Structure 1
Amino acid sequence: MNSKNLSIAASALLGSMYLDSRFHIRRDLHQVYVSAHYNFMHWRFTHEDRMNLYFRFADAAKKNPDKVSLVFQGRDYTFRELERHIVAIYMQNSPHFILSWLAIMKLGATPAFINNNLTDIPLLHSLRTSTAHLLLLDPTCAANVEPHANKIKDDLGIEIWSYGATDDPLPFCEPLTERALRMFGEENLSEKMIKGTKQHDIAMLIYTSGTTGLPKSALTCGGICTASAPMIASIASCHYITAPPPWVIHASVADRVVCGSVLFYPILGMLGIAVSWQTGCTVVLGEKFSNSHFWDECRENDVTVLIYIGEICRYLLATPPSPLDKQHKVRLAYGNGLRADIWNQFRDRFGIRMIGEFYASTEGTNSLFNPNNGEFGSGAVGHRGSLIRSLIKDVCIIRVDPITEEPIRAPNGFCIECEYNEPGELLLVNKKDAPLEFQGYYKNSDATNKKIIKNVFKKGDVYFRTGDLLKLDPEGHFIFADRVGDTFRWKSENVSTAEVAEVLGTYPAIQEANVYGVELPGHDGRAGMAAITIKEGQKIDFKELAKFVTAKLPRYAVPVFLRILPAMELTGTFKQRKVELRNEGVDPEKISESDPIYWLTNDGYCPFGRQEWASIVAGKAKL
């Protein structure tokens, strides 16, 4: 090759490298590949009449029957062992949960994944809305169910059986024992029972986390379940003609994946277990999440991939630093809920090269993904470059009134799309008969209708309302701003609870912050309040804290009140609870004496009690 051709080739190479760095072309091509792969797999499963999710497991068992599929409490379970069991579900993390899930799918029935932390009204509500006739109960969860067993059996008409690590009978139900199961033999069931599954047939009922009230059961259909696993796997193993860029996540049959979550939550079921069935990798499952033993379990089981949800990464950071922090084989952490204020701290402390943050919801029609291995894009919940945003217009961010929660429409009646870095509600296209079409909440038309918005940009279009406020920056990063309904108004300004919590989270002595607005007598809007937990062995200088937040936040966004909690109240999926805290407000009669309250004065944050509350009620306090 002569010097002229070399010069042209070098220029072309440098030009392509510049275009890629400027417009993130390879990232976008990756997403195009993932979308195409998803559509192809959906067509294939439909054409072959193998839509039921059970087929993903059956294929993996046939291909690698003696490969370890699951590790639980030191015992290995191969694909062949899991396939032999015929069992029936309502449990904590255990092989029995997975065996029950497989058995229910193999029978062509529908599992309803009930949060095993629920009791009383939320438990009865979840069971009632499921319309189930049978409840499979882990004996270790009996204490939650026993007080309500008669209502479950008599009022709801649900039969209860226990199935788990022990065969001991419970006072209110009989155990499903190995001896009883042997009566049915070990002959494999015919696939006729699960043939004919269509994309919109109900595959499972998955409940929302209940952060804003009672859990709602979301219909999760066969098309979503059966194609989600290969889609996520393709995100994790995209093939390139040349070497893949460093941010591409690669997962394989050799990987060992640890799930720091609960099986009744879909991110673990689909991102962990179902992906294992798709790729043949091994899942290392713990009974419960323990931040003090988590890394020991990773080292003992040679874990290479970590799945997180909610505040799990924050709790891992809360453990005392150790010389062993980077002594593990974990190269990838992916999931949902890693906040910007701890993102880089988490990666740097534990030496995890790659983070993959998903934005997704139980019932959503689409998702976002941010593969990240450095400062660029850290803290974002998703990324789409210019190419993908021009080719695929299936998400948008519109202006909404943060108080009424209604979209702001232009004079022509259509919604207004947000500018760059302007927070608004994320909408997802909801195409009729598409594989990911929103099917609604099970037997709850009112809640279903609230999630649908029509005539957004043209007459007749239909979108799914996520209920989340996001921002899109010029580089294509989607940044979480707040939940619709959590943003409140104070001093005629809108306050983002997520923004305030992020600032508080950077204060050295604060472990975690949960921010919300509280109503006060004689005042318009809501005053900012932060429930915080303090790091072990640390103390807060409340005068210094007031200076810290005042320097970093607009005056209207600085929390007026602080509430010190011994521990943060969380849902079963490691998300913060706000409703109860917001309802209690700052009235000392409603708040436990073990939770001291402080309010902002000219001298910093000072103790707040009945006398101070009386001054607010009397209209004498200046806020």
Structure 2
Amino acid sequence: MLCTLLPLTLILLILLLLLLSRLCPLFWTDVLYQAQLLRILFQFVLRRRRSPVFLALDRFLEQVQSRPNQPFIIFENRSFSFRDADRESNLIANALRWDPGLTSGDTVLLFMQNRPEIAFCWLALAKLGCACALLNSNMRSHSLTRSVRCVGGARALITSEDLQGALAEVYTDLQQDRVSVFLISQHLGSSHLKCVFRPDRCVFRSDRSSVFRSDSESSDEPVPASLRANVRFTSPAVYIYTSGTTGLPKAAVITQSRLLAALSVLPSNGVTDKDVIYVTLPLYHTSGFLLGLLGAVETGCSMVLRTKFSASCFWDECEAHRVTIILYIGEILRYLCNTPRRDPDRVQGVRLAIGNGLRADVWQEFIARFGGIEVREFYASTEGNVGFINYAGKIGAAGRVNFLHRKLFPYALIAYDTEQEQPIRNAAGLCVEVPKGQTGLLVSRITHTAPFTGYALDEAQSEKKRLRDVFQKGDVYFNSGDLLRIDADGFIYFQDRVGDTFRCFDRWKGENVATTEVSDVLGLLEFIEEANVYGVCVPGHEGRIGMAAVKLKDGREFDGERVFGHVCRLLPGYARPRFIRIQRHIEVTATFKQLKVKLAKAGFDPSTIHDPLYFLSETERSYITLTRHIYQEILALSVKL
């Protein structure tokens, strides 16, 4: 009897699985991903329970022991093994122990373009139990000062030779804040520090003649683990700057626990120590640092680092270094699609592209031209407590939702009034979840498993990201500020961003632009009474392009050359408004909030807008009248924005 039942049971089981595969084509894909998610969660829990505290740094030290000669970072014509990186970081750490005498809990600012030294400095500071703040290397003037002060009480700032001029502009502020400035050598392989400014001195030593401690005096001996004995999972590890949805740049606190969790992202997408990852995204961004650098730390793979993205050099460098994994933001893949065709176009070796912000049309074009590369689009935010990944490869989707994910990280899409810029609540004062297929504001419950650590020294802005009384009185959710949609098949799609920022793409760099900051800069001009900054969609361009509606003071005229010089001096390139609209008055809501949605929808078409329109012309170094001809050239992509 038993011998008869066993084959019958096996046949029924096979038929059931075949039926499930037919009814749910992604059944096995979902099962495998959720199994991977459980494995990663189990590994994370085990690491959290280790004693002493196990940090991302400890994973790097494990790699130094297990694969000392494996290339860790490849930059230009140099290769640094895990052992090399360990030695370089020891030199820096031991130097900083003496001058300025860093101790556990201190914060140091890193102000550099992509270079291996960013990784060395992070490792050095981690060995000392210090946090590092990753400054955007495009910041200048008061934006740079604001970023320095965001973290409060930073002991030192480490920079490179090419950015000394930017620091000289904020010398007085650095002196006031008592921040020591160190110059790291441009000569790779000798990461010595030169102190070029001390707060107790009155001269910015741009000649770098004042050397307090260099690698010749420092030691590459291992840094005692006792120096970081007080570091906990809740301790700040890294500060990454973001505009979020609430205005000016803020320093999002990335704790040691969050850093430990970030180690799992690349392994969960099948990346191993046999891979080579190509990183052209800036390391001061979440993707570059958490995916690129930490991905190499966790998997033991090699990271090919480039200072800036170059579409013309991209595939040649991938072939030269046998790259298998590339990171992207949407515009990177679009620029690659716009490069001249090669024979063959399909690059040997590259098998996976991971990133976000990819338009469906660019996605299709990329696959058609460079087929054989799997694209994994994800959704996440720097300070957020939830994320999604499109592990099934559905074109246009930013992720796929599943039961297990929602149990671990409770989230919902709620009804949102874009005109009033607030969630819609029912008679009981609670939020309303939108049905599948409709667009809603993404919120995620703040729990011990999914915490929200907020922004450094900015509780007011942190509180704005907490949405209370969502589905029951007393609950607290993280307000992503993003509008998303979930279809009937469980795929989630990014729709738009709400609030006081817009996602702007300048050439290859994806940046969040704080409209409040741009408005403040424009308001410094004596002939501008008020400015309302927003983002407009431009065909052929990802994200939104900056535009400002401006009210002039009575009796004053618009000076395009003055405005051009002003914004170029005070704003990074991606934040400069490309279009300006002159209005007689700035429209506001009943609660005196500037109306942006209506203006954004109106766009910049001179044939439908009767207000004077101006366009930022790089060639004429002025804001010039936006004519119908220029408008058509922009639509035809003949004019570069």
2:324 paired with 1:319: no
User: By how many angstroms is 1:395 displaced?
Assistant: 1.4
Q: 1:277 to 1:605 in 2, by over 3 A?
A: closer
In the aligned structure 2, how far is the partner of 1:310 from the partner of 1:455? Answer: 35
* 1:319-353 Cα shifts (integer Å, max 9, x gaps): 22222421331110001221223111112212243
2:145 paired with 1:112: no
**Which residue type is aligned with residue 50 of structure 1?**
V
**Which residue type is aligned with residue 87 of structure 1?**
I
Q: 1:111 to 1:369 in 2, by over 3 A?
A: same
Q: Which aligned pairs between 1:357-372 and structure 2 lie closer than 5 A? A: 357-372=377-392
* 1:437-476 Cα shifts (integer Å, max 9, x gaps): 1111111112111100111111221110111000110111
User: By how many angstroms is 1:407 displaced?
Assistant: 0.8
User: By how many angstroms is 1:391 displaced?
Assistant: 4.4
2:160 paired with 1:138: yes
Question: Which secondary structure state, in structure 1, belongs to the residue aligned with residue 111 of structure 2?
Answer: coil
User: By how many angstroms is 1:9 displaced?
Assistant: 5.3
2:224 paired with 1:221: no
User: By how many angstroms is 1:159 displaced?
Assistant: 1.0
- For 1:346, the equivalent position in structure 2 comes to 366
Q: More displaced, 258-267 or 208-217?
A: 208-217
Question: Which secondary structure state, in structure 1, belongs to the residue aligned with residue 261 of structure 2?
Answer: helix
In the aligned structure 1, how far is the partner of 2:244 from the partner of 2:9? Answer: 63
User: By how many angstroms is 1:117 displaced?
Assistant: 1.0
Q: TM-score, normalised by structure 2?
A: 0.73
Q: Which aligned pairs between 1:133-282 and structure 2 lie closer than 5 A? A: 133-152=155-174, 154-166=175-187, 172-173=205-206, 174=208, 180-208=214-242, 213-229=247-263, 231-236=264-269, 250-282=270-302
2:418 to 383, 402, 408: 402
2:40 paired with 1:14: no
Q: More displaced, 587-596 or 159-168?
A: 587-596
Question: Which secondary structure state, in structure 2, belongs to the residue aligned with residue 112 of structure 1?
Answer: strand
Would the aligned equivalents of 2:72 and 2:80 in 1 still touch at CA under 8 Å?
yes
2:461 to 436, 439, 447: 447
* 1:129-176 Cα shifts (integer Å, max 9, x gaps): 222121111112223222222332x22221111103148997635379
Would the aligned equivalents of 2:246 and 2:500 in 1 still touch at CA under 8 Å?
no
User: By how many angstroms is 1:280 displaced?
Assistant: 0.5
**Which residue type is aligned with residue 165 of structure 1?**
Q
Question: Which secondary structure state, in structure 1, belongs to the residue aligned with residue 148 of structure 2?
Answer: helix
**Which residue type is aligned with residue 361 of structure 2?**
D
- For 2:103, the equivalent position in structure 1 comes to none
Q: Which aligned pairs between 1:208-607 and structure 2 lie closer than 5 A? A: 208=242, 213-229=247-263, 231-236=264-269, 250-373=270-393, 377-385=394-402, 387-388=403-404, 391-392=407-408, 394-431=410-447, 433-434=448-449, 436-485=450-499, 501=537, 505=539, 510=540, 514=544, 577=575, 581=579, 588=612, 591-592=615-616, 597=626
Q: 1:410 to 1:389 in 2, by over 3 A?
A: farther
User: By how many angstroms is 1:281 displaced?
Assistant: 0.5
In the aligned structure 1, how far is the partner of 2:479 from the partner of 2:627? Answer: 37
Q: 1:255 to 1:70 in 2, by over 3 A?
A: same
In the aligned structure 1, how far is the partner of 2:501 from the partner of 2:115? Answer: 38
Would the aligned equivalents of 1:133 and 1:158 in 2 still touch at CA under 8 Å?
yes
- For 2:82, the equivalent position in structure 1 comes to 79
User: By how many angstroms is 1:10 displaced?
Assistant: 4.7
- Cα RMSD after superposing both structures: 3.5
Would the aligned equivalents of 2:359 and 2:542 in 1 still touch at CA under 8 Å?
no
**Which residue type is aligned with residue 232 of structure 1?**
V
Count, aligned residues: 518
**Which residue type is aligned with residue 333 of structure 2?**
C
Question: Which secondary structure state, in structure 1, belongs to the residue aligned with residue 312 of structure 2?
Answer: coil
In the aligned structure 1, how far is the partner of 2:321 from the partner of 2:181? Answer: 35
Would the aligned equivalents of 2:71 and 2:82 in 1 still touch at CA under 8 Å?
yes
Question: Which secondary structure state, in structure 2, belongs to the residue aligned with residue 287 of structure 1?
Answer: coil
Would the aligned equivalents of 2:385 and 2:451 in 1 still touch at CA under 8 Å?
yes
User: By how many angstroms is 1:301 displaced?
Assistant: 0.4
Question: Which secondary structure state, in structure 1, belongs to the residue aligned with residue 131 of structure 2?
Answer: coil
Would the aligned equivalents of 1:225 and 1:270 in 2 still touch at CA under 8 Å?
yes
In the aligned structure 2, how far is the partner of 1:159 from the partner of 1:448? Answer: 29
**Which residue type is aligned with residue 124 of structure 1?**
T
**Which residue type is aligned with residue 219 of structure 2?**
G
Q: 1:125 to 1:101 in 2, by over 3 A?
A: same
Would the aligned equivalents of 2:243 and 2:249 in 1 still touch at CA under 8 Å?
yes
**Which residue type is aligned with residue 483 of structure 1?**
R
In the aligned structure 2, how far is the partner of 1:293 from the partner of 1:312? Answer: 12
* 1:57-84 Cα shifts (integer Å, max 9, x gaps): 1111111111111111021111111111
**Which residue type is aligned with residue 461 of structure 1?**
D
In the aligned structure 1, how far is the partner of 2:578 from the partner of 2:38? Answer: 40
Q: 1:134 to 1:120 in 2, by over 3 A?
A: same
* 1:251-299 Cα shifts (integer Å, max 9, x gaps): 1111000012011112111111111111110000011111111111101
User: Which sections of structure 1, spanning at least 5 residues, go unmatched?
Assistant: 237-249, 489-496, 522-570, 609-623
**Which residue type is aligned with residue 113 of structure 1?**
L
- For 2:559, the equivalent position in structure 1 comes to none
In the aligned structure 1, how far is the partner of 2:470 from the partner of 2:245? Answer: 27
Question: Which secondary structure state, in structure 1, belongs to the residue aligned with residue 150 of structure 2?
Answer: helix
* 1:363-409 Cα shifts (integer Å, max 9, x gaps): 01121111244xxx211111014x44674561110011112221101
Question: Which secondary structure state, in structure 2, belongs to the residue aligned with residue 482 of structure 1?
Answer: strand
2:36 paired with 1:37: no
In the aligned structure 1, how far is the partner of 2:366 from the partner of 2:431? Answer: 39
User: By how many angstroms is 1:228 displaced?
Assistant: 1.5
* 1:567-620 Cα shifts (integer Å, max 9, x gaps): xxxx98x9x6586747778664754466663569xxx97899xxxxxxxxxxxx
User: By how many angstroms is 1:25 displaced?
Assistant: 5.3
Would the aligned equivalents of 1:216 and 1:441 in 2 still touch at CA under 8 Å?
yes
User: By how many angstroms is 1:520 displaced?
Assistant: 9.4
Would the aligned equivalents of 2:240 and 2:286 in 1 still touch at CA under 8 Å?
yes
Q: TM-score, normalised by structure 1?
A: 0.75
- For 2:120, the equivalent position in structure 1 comes to 99
**Which residue type is aligned with residue 327 of structure 2?**
I
In the aligned structure 2, how far is the partner of 1:418 from the partner of 1:513? Answer: 25
User: By how many angstroms is 1:412 displaced?
Assistant: 1.6
**Which residue type is aligned with residue 227 of structure 2?**
M
In the aligned structure 2, how far is the partner of 1:400 from the partner of 1:599? Answer: 36
- For 1:47, the equivalent position in structure 2 comes to 50
Question: Which secondary structure state, in structure 1, belongs to the residue aligned with residue 258 of structure 2?
Answer: helix
Q: 1:457 to 1:124 in 2, by over 3 A?
A: same
Q: 1:421 to 1:596 in 2, by over 3 A?
A: farther
- For 1:62, the equivalent position in structure 2 comes to 65
